Amino acid sequence: MTDDSIIQTIMDNAVNAGAIFGQLDQEQTDRIVKAVYTAGFNNRIKLAQMAVDETKMGRFEDKVIKNVLATQLVYDDIKNVKTVGIISDDEVSGITEIAQPLGPIFAITPVTNPTSTVIFKILIALKTRNPIIIRPHSNAVNCSVEAAKICYEAALSEDAPENCIQWIPSCTREETQKMMAHKDMALILATGGGGLVNAAYSSGTPALGVGAGNVPVFIEKSADVKYAVSQIMSSKLFDNGTVCASEQAIIVEKDIAQSVKDELVNLGGYFMNPEETAKVSAVVFDSAKKVMSTVTMGKSAKFIAELAGITIPKEAVLLIAPLDGVGEKYPISYEILAPVIAFYVAENYQAAVNLCIDLNYHGGAGHTASIFSNDEKKIREFSMVMNAGRIVVNMPSSQGAVGAIVNTLAASLTLGCGSGGKNITTDNVTAKHLLNIQRIARKRVNQKFDKIDKSLYLNEAYNSEMIEKEYNKNY
């Protein structure tokens, strides 16, 4: 992109595509969506390899699983949802709801989940008849554009409107801001770094964004320790920790601390001493910017250890930092999207919960919290005090938060964080969030209205003095 005329051409194309898209019925729309899902699924391995080769992040096998989530599981989640025309008709209430598309959507996609997020956003946009413009991360352009091309060709094969999917291979920050603020842009779907998400919310265009995920996992003393540790390991190591819902700190009660430590070591965890923790902190955290380092994001424990200049056992796959505090003095208490995790021992249940709250508010408010427990009362107590859109119970947090794999949450790669994360929703964002809903309201008798003493406002003789007496009598 080089000038405003190119931006205008992209937007004109999107508007024209939207005008045609709005004329399609549910059956035509669903054929397009199925074709795109099928093409994305059939290319899941190719796109996973491209993503790893280009970004140098994560693990190929796990990128494949992410592409399966973005295609098969997302498709299964949305395929039977009504998104065209009348979606509900209630004779009793007299309310008829009609689904309408929003218009052009600007999709900002991340380096951590490039191809999967592109496919996911395209599927939910097409399901709701919204043209979409993909703005890939600068370090994941080739794989993201290839994913968009595969989806576009599949959509066209089922007579989707031309330019219903567009992509911008090169886009400066200034050009991105102009796209976001364009008068014809209907919505921004922002998944990525905090700067871009904040810019989306400041653009003047409605936006659905995400927040940081500094996820605490509390292993309460009634939990099955072996099971809990195995689930945490499978989650934190998934794609080398690049899922924003991956666990960032393990909190245990003193009574079970040693058994948890033993099991972590048994499964490849390496507990660092203070000197090693300091060295690793220096390479995984950018102290000047107060954010995780992009150099180690999505890298293996071996890579990080070598970079930090520490020696770890050859079987070690997770670097564990025992900490006694939260905040700037403890860099690993921040979100680190890599196989590095903080470890806290609490005196008792309440102290453990307090630590989880501190971590939750230390850069992860609104996102996700995790608990392993067989005490339903404590699970509910924990959930009530956590500022998190998702509290995952007895399951891996990475796979649990994105939905559909180990629970029935909506399959999504855009996880809303509510007001805690400066987002508009705590939902797993999906097709239902990309619709305008019209409501036809027919005249019906409202029994609540009939019970109101209408003399309060219908009787002309009912003056201010009488109203004051009525108020004093009731209140």
Which helix (H) or strand (E) segment holds residue 13: the answer is helix 4-21
Q: Please, are residues 350 and 371 in contact by the beta-carbon 8 Å criterion? A: no
- Sign for the pseudo-dihedral over CA of 114, 297, 336, 399: positive
**In the beta sheet, which residues pair with residue 252?**
219, 345
Tokens of 368: 């996700």
Catalytic residue chosen out of the listed positions 151, 244, 356, 417:
244
Q: Which residues of 266-275 are buried (b: 16+ CB within 10 A; e: fewer)?
A: ebebbbbeee
Q: Please, are residues 172 and 199 in contact by the beta-carbon 8 Å criterion? A: no
Region of residue 58 (left: phi > 0; alpha: psi -120 to 50; beta: else)? left
Angstrom distance (rounded) from CA 414 to CA 244? 10
Listed in sequence order, the DSSP H helices in 324-396 are 349-361, 376-385
Q: Please, are residues 375 and 392 in contact by the beta-carbon 8 Å criterion? A: no
CA-CA distances (angstroms) from residue 31 to 36, 69, 126, 462? 9, 20, 10, 63
Tokens of 177: 């801001």
Q: Taking Cα atoms as reference points, which of 220, 222, 235, 209 lies closest to residue 367?
A: 209
Helix orientation angle between 349-361 and 376-385, rounded to the nearest 10 degrees:
30
- Is 171 tagged catalytic? no
Angstrom distance (rounded) from CA 69 to CA 386? 27
Please provide the distance, in angstroms rounded to a whole number, between the alpha carbons at the two ends of the chain.
65
Helix %, strand %, coil % of the chain (to 5) = 45, 20, 35
Task: Kindly state the DSSP code that residue 431 receives in the 8-state scheme.
Answer: G
Q: Which residues of 321-356 are buried (b: 16+ CB within 10 A; e: fewer)?
A: bbbeebeeebbbbbbbbbbbbbbbbbeebeebbebb
Q: Taking Cα atoms as reference points, which of 134, 82, 69 lies closest to residue 104?
A: 134
CA-CA distances (angstroms) from residue 55 to 144, 278, 297, 342? 11, 27, 10, 26
The set of catalytic residues is 244
